[in-house]
Amino acid sequence: MITRLAKKIGALSEIRDTDPGFSDLAALLTGIKPVLYTDFDGADWPYLKDLCLKLKMEYLLPEALFGRKGFKAAPKYGKKMLLIGRKKKDLEAAAASWGRAETTREWGLLLGYPPCCVDAYLDWKENYSERTDLIRRTHELTPAAKKYHFGLNNVCNFFSRLTPGDAALYRKVGDINYKKGFPLANMHVISWHPCSYACKKSAAAADKIFSFFKVYLPEHAAMLRAVLARPVLVYGKYEFLSFEGKVVKDELRFSGVGAPYSLMDSPLRPGALKLSAVARLGAGRPAGKEPFLLNFSAK
């Protein structure tokens, strides 16, 4: 899908919504990320070349240098890999890192993700990913607070946290949201996973990216705020309730469940629910399956 920018960026007046996604492009253009990587379909090459030209960005095709052995080179749907950035040397360093090894700290840092978030992600991947979803792990690492920055809501960002058995469920949740007008690929402010929902570096980046959206993609910004700035009750990776409502004092008040949609139906009737009652919802459930509330209504 092509979206017209509310204001031109250099010579650019419209952009596609995927490959690269809105968030990555915004992070690159606001200087948060020195390099973005994306995979792309061969037929989209003219668009991408033109995009780089109009934005005065350099690009590099790592597979041409390092073959397909890097972790991102899994021949997914026959797509190719592309790195885009302001400086050739950043692209070369990222390509060399990509050619050397799988998901590493170096690769994460070269792409501009906060070091704290890179470390937490790698720790999860190595030590927890087989039994605990990243959202639950991130919640465990988050200091308790009344609310968190909506720009860090990654409940429906499934990038980099899918496991081999997930394909069917992921497709299902993607389809449900797509049919209702919410393509999951762009339903996030920051494209990476924060180390905690209180990560200051990620929150600062989210502010910058969201300000960019407000100027250039105002409708997208409004949609994101509407669906991400909500209290979410998370039961599991594909089971969460994104409430149309808010937390007021010690109560969750909501009129229904809205986007992003998960695969579960709400067992809760709209109205007001004491937070202490929300906390008791986990009683009787196995350890690690208790639901938890993430109130993404800050900002």
Residues near Zn ion, by CB under 5 A: 114, 116-117, 195, 199
Residue 38 bridge partners (DSSP): 82
CB of 197 to Zn ion, least distance (A): 10
Phi, psi of 282 (to 5 degrees): -80, -10
CB of 240 to Zn ion, least distance (A): 22
Report the residue number, 63 or 133, with the smaller CB distance to Zn ion. 133
CB of 87 to Zn ion, least distance (A): 24
CB of 107 to Zn ion, least distance (A): 16
- Residue 269: partners with Cβ closer than 8 Å, 6 or more residues away: none
Report the residue number, 113 or 254, with the smaller CB distance to Zn ion. 113
**Distance separating alpha carbons of residues 293 and 207, to the nearest angstrom:** 23
Report the residue number, 117 or 221, with the smaller CB distance to Zn ion. 117
Closest residue by Cα to residue 86 from 127, 32, 134 = 32
Closest residue by Cα to residue 115 from 32, 188, 195 = 195
- 220 with 188: CB under 8 angstroms? no
Report the residue number, 29 or 199, with the smaller CB distance to Zn ion. 199
Q: Please state, as a whole number, how many other Cβ atoms lie within 10 Å of the Cβ of residue 171.
A: 10
Report the residue number, 116 or 298, with the smaller CB distance to Zn ion. 116
CB of 138 to Zn ion, least distance (A): 10
- 191 with 212: CB under 8 angstroms? no
Closest residue by Cα to residue 2 from 38, 42, 51, 49 = 51
